Amino acid sequence: MSILVTGGAGYIGSHTVVELSLHGYSVVIVDNLVNSSYDSISRVEYLVKKKIPFFNVDLRDSEALSKVFDQYKITGVIHFAALKAVGESTKIPLDYYENNVGGTVSLLKVMKSHDVKTIVFSSSATVYGDATRFENMIPIPEECPLGPTNPYGNTKLTIENILHDLYSSDHHWRAAVLRYFNPIGAHPSGLIGEDPLGIPNNLLPYLAQVAVGRREKLSVFGDDYDSHDGTPIRDYIHVVDLAKGHLAALAYLHKLNPDDGLYREWNLGTGKGSTVFDVYHAFSKAVGRDLPYEVVGRRAGDVLNLTAKATRANTELGWKAELSVEQACKDLWNWTTKNPFGFHVDHYSVNDGAFGEDRIHTVKFDDFSVSVANHGATLVDIQVDGAPKVCNFKDLKDYNLPSNPYFGATIGRIANRLPKGRFSIDGKEFVSGINDGRNSLHGGFHGFNSQYFFGPVARKGPEGVTLSFVYLDKDGNNGYPGDLLTTVNYIISPKSLEIEYQAELTPESSADATAVSLTNHSYFHLTDEENINNTEFKLVSSRFMEVDKEAIPTGKLKNWTDPDVTKPFVLSGRSFDHCFIVDEHPTKLDTRSLPLVKVLEASNGGKKLSIYTTEPSFQFYTGDGVNTKGYGERAGFAVEPCRFISAGAFDEWRNQVVVRKGEVYGGKNRYVFS
Ligand code: NAD
C-alpha cells in the first residue's frame, strides 16, 4: 500500500518523501519536473536507501495518471504539485489556474475513479491575504477570513473550496488542508534542498546566493515597520518540520473511523515570528560573516506581521515545529556550500529522459569522458579523444545477458573465485552462490553487478567531479552475512578516473562480521583492433598465486618467469587469468590511506593506460573467455585490484576480507590514459 506524492521532486515534496520513507511508508512520486529535477529523487533514494517509483507525468494527463493508480495500490495522496511563484502568477494567471486548479481536478477525478478518497493538500498562508486588515487576527488562526491578493493565492483558495465541495457531496472524502507559512532550510544531510531556478523570490534562498557570490547583495524592503528592528515579521518553519506535519496529517486521517470523512484546515507554522534582520543575522552567523545588504523602500503589498497561530495543529495533529531558524540557516548553508548551483554540476549530464535504472551518468572534460550506470554502478564507457576504451553494450538491458562477462561492473561482495563458494569467519562457515562450476565467482548469482545502486550524488571539487553511488546489500543475499552498506565513488578529472570503495556493516545489521572484497571489472582496449594481442604490458610484480585447474588458488605464491612480466612484453598468444601480488603481507582493512602503486602499464597504437591501486593484489585477465554480443575472445583485458583471491578460504589471508561491525573496508584504484 503506497502513498502517492504529487510534486515529490520539488522542495517540500522531496523532504516529505524522505520522512515518509524513513517512517515505513511506500511512496510513489508523480511530477512533471516543470520546476525540479529527477536529481532530487535520486538523492532521496541515496539518503533512505530505498527505491522510489517515479512517473514523469503531468497531473492534467489523466490517462497517464490513471495508469499509476492502476499499477499501485494507492491509499492516500499528498498533493504538492503546483506552480508557486506569486509574481509570475500575476503575469500568467491562466497558466496558474490551468496547472494548479486543472491539475487538481484531474487528480481528484482519477482518485475518485480508483476509490482513493484521502488527500493531504499543500495550501498556503497566502489564502489569508493581509490578515492585519482585521483586529486580533495576528497570530493568524484558521478561522481568519480568507482573501488572497494574487492569482496564485486564488488558485489555492479555489482548490480548498473544491475539496470542501467534494467532501460535502460525499462524506467519505478525507481532506487535510495544510496552510504553510514560510518554509526554509534544507535537509541536514546536505543532499536535498531548495533549488530555485532563476532569481529566488524568497529571503533565504536569495541570501544563500549572495553568500556564494551569485548575487551581489540582499535588498531589505523597508526598515520602518513597527517591529523591534523595523523590518517585517514572518513565521519561518524548517522544511523538515513542515514535512513531518504531513505525516501527522496523514496519520490523523488514517485514524478516523472507517466510515468517517473530513474536511479540515491546519496552519503549519511555528507560531513565532522573526524579522527579516533576525533571519539575516542568523544566516550571516551560519556563514561566518556579515553578508552585503541594502535597505530599500517598502514593497507594495508587504505588511508588518504574518505569524501563524499553530495551536490547532499542535493539539489535534500532535505535531509541533521543533527546529529553530538558526538550525534552518545552518542546514541551508550546509546545502548551499555542498551544492552551490543546486543540483546542477558542471561537466555532468544524464541521458535524456531516463529515470531510475535506465540512467547513464556522464562526466565529460574536453577529450576524456566517463559514463556510469546505476545498474551495478557499472562503468559503461570511457572515451579518450573520441574513441572508446572499454568493452560495453549499447543497450543497458544487455548487461543482464548470461554471456556478459561482467563488463564494467562493480564486483562484490567477494570479487573473483571462492572455492566451492565457501568462506569462514570465526570458525563459522558460509556458502555463497555456486555459479562457476563447483565454485562461486564474483559474489554469486545476485552479485553487486546485478544490483540497482542509488544515487549518484554528483559533486564538483578540486579533484574533479565525483559520482557517489550507494548500495545496501541485505543480510543473506548470496549467502553473505550482515547488512552491508557500500559506497562507490567515481572521481573523474580531466585526465584520469579514480574509483573508491567503502563498505561497512550497518549498526542495525544482525550479523557482527562479514567478508568483502570489491573491485571494478572493466575490459580495456587501447585501439579498435579485434583483439588485444598487440598490446604491450608491464606489471609491477612477478609474484603471483598458483592456481589449480579450476583457477582456484592453491595457497602458494610463485614467481612468473616467462616472460619477465616486470619488463615490457607484447601479449601475443599468451594468456593470463592470475592474481599478482603487490603487497605480500597487507595489514590494512581500509587501504585508501596507502600510496597508490602503479601495478600495470598497457600500451598500443601510441595510447597508454596506467593502473594504480592501494590494494594488495590484482587479477590480470586477458579476456580469453569473452564471447558475448559484439565481442569475442581477447576483445579486452581486465585488471581487478582487490584482496587476495579466495582470501576468505585461507586462514593466513582471511583478515584481508573480514569486516566487523564498526570497521570500515576501503580501497582505491586509479586509471590514467595518455
Ligand atoms: P516546488 O516547485 O519545488 O515543487 C512543486 C513540484 O510540483 C515541482 O517539482 C513541479 O515540477 C511539480 N509540478 C508542478 N505542476 C505540476 C503538474 N501539473 N503535474 C505534475 N507535477 C507538477 O514547490 P514547493 O516549494 O516544494 O511547494 C510545494 C507545494 O507547497 C506547492 O503546492 C506550493 O504552492 C505550496 N507552498 C509552498 C510554499 C513555499 O514557500 N515553498 C509556501 C506555501 C505553499
**Cβ atoms of 653 and 659 closer than 8 Å:** no
Does the pLDDT at position 375 exceed 90?
Answer: yes
**Lining residues, ligand 1, CB within 6 Å:** 6-7, 9-13, 31-36, 58-60, 80-84, 99, 103, 122, 124, 180, 183
Q: What pLDDT does 409 receive?
A: 97
Verify that 363 and 317 share a domain, yes or no: no
Asked if residue 212 is part of any domain, the answer here is no
Verify that 310 and 393 share a domain, yes or no: no
**Cβ atoms of 510 and 480 closer than 8 Å:** no
Asked if residue 576 is part of any domain, the answer here is yes
Verify that 304 and 364 share a domain, yes or no: no
| Count of other CB atoms within 10 angstroms of residue 385 | 10
Does the pLDDT at position 244 exceed 80?
Answer: yes
Verify that 314 and 377 share a domain, yes or no: no
Verify that 252 and 387 share a domain, yes or no: no
Does the pLDDT at position 449 exceed 90?
Answer: yes
**Cβ atoms of 506 and 540 closer than 8 Å:** no
- Pocket test of ligand 1: the residue of 44, 55, 61, 122 to mutate, having most ligand atoms within 8 Å of its CB, is 122
pLDDT band at 228 (very low <50, low <70, confident <90, very high): very high
Which residue has the CA at smallest separation from atom 29 of ligand 1? 80
Whole-angstrom Cα distance, residue 187 to residue 242? 11
Q: What CATH number does the domain containing 68 carry?
A: 3.40.50.720
Does the pLDDT at position 41 exceed 80?
Answer: yes
Verify that 362 and 260 share a domain, yes or no: no
Cell of 84: 508557486
- For the CA of 12, the nearest atom of ligand 1: 26
Q: What CATH number does the domain containing 640 carry?
A: 2.70.98.10
pLDDT band at 597 (very low <50, low <70, confident <90, very high): very high
Does the pLDDT at position 197 exceed 80?
Answer: no
pLDDT band at 168 (very low <50, low <70, confident <90, very high): very high
Verify that 355 and 316 share a domain, yes or no: no
Asked if residue 290 is part of any domain, the answer here is no
Q: Which of 288, 322, 356 is the last residue of a domain?
A: 322
Verify that 417 and 554 share a domain, yes or no: yes
Residue type, 19: E
Which residues on adjacent β-strands are paired with residue 517? 414
What are the start-end ranges of the H helices in 314-393?
325-338
- How far, in Å, is the centroid of ligand 1 from the Cα of 336? 20
Q: What pLDDT does 283 receive?
A: 98
Q: What pLDDT does 1 receive?
A: 84
Q: Which of 169, 156, 152, 182 is nearest to 263 (CA)?
A: 169
Whole-angstrom Cα distance, residue 369 to residue 382? 6
Asked if residue 361 is part of any domain, the answer here is yes
70 to 66, 110, 355, 416, 492: CA distances (angstroms): 6, 10, 20, 43, 42
Asked if residue 203 is part of any domain, the answer here is no
Verify that 630 and 545 share a domain, yes or no: yes
- How far, in Å, is the centroid of ligand 1 from the Cα of 155? 13
Q: What is the ipTM of this complex?
A: 1.00
Whole-angstrom Cα distance, residue 563 to residue 542? 9
The domain tally of the chain equals: 2
Asked if residue 286 is part of any domain, the answer here is no
Q: Say whether 15 is catalytic.
A: no
SS3 285: helix
Place of cell 504553510: 180
Asked if residue 442 is part of any domain, the answer here is yes
Whole-angstrom Cα distance, residue 657 to residue 588? 10
SS3 209: helix
Cα-Cα end-to-end distance for the chain:
53
Whole-angstrom Cα distance, residue 562 to residue 496? 32
Verify that 485 and 368 share a domain, yes or no: yes
Which residue has the CA at smallest separation from atom 25 of ligand 1? 11
Does the pLDDT at position 199 exceed 90?
Answer: no
Counting Cβ atoms within 10 Å, is residue 200 exposed (0-12), middle (13-18) or buried (19+)? middle
Question: Mean pLDDT, the chain, as a whole number?
Answer: 96
Residue type, 131: A
Query: Which residues span the domain enclosing 27?
Result: 2-191+234-275+300-322
Does the pLDDT at position 193 exceed 90?
Answer: yes
Q: Which of 169, 672, 600, 619 is nearest to 406 (CA)?
A: 619
Verify that 92 and 146 share a domain, yes or no: yes
Verify that 464 and 556 share a domain, yes or no: yes
Whether omega before 459 lies within 30 degrees of 0, making that bond cis, reads no
Asked if residue 559 is part of any domain, the answer here is yes
Residues 542-572 have pLDDT tens digits of 999 999 988 899 999 999 999 999 999 999 9
- For the CA of 13, the nearest atom of ligand 1: 26
Q: Which of 415, 413, 412, 391 is nearest to 403 (CA)?
A: 391
Q: What pLDDT does 88 receive?
A: 93
Q: What pLDDT does 495 receive?
A: 84
| Angle, vertex CA 495, rays to CA 389 and CA 383, nearest 5 | 25
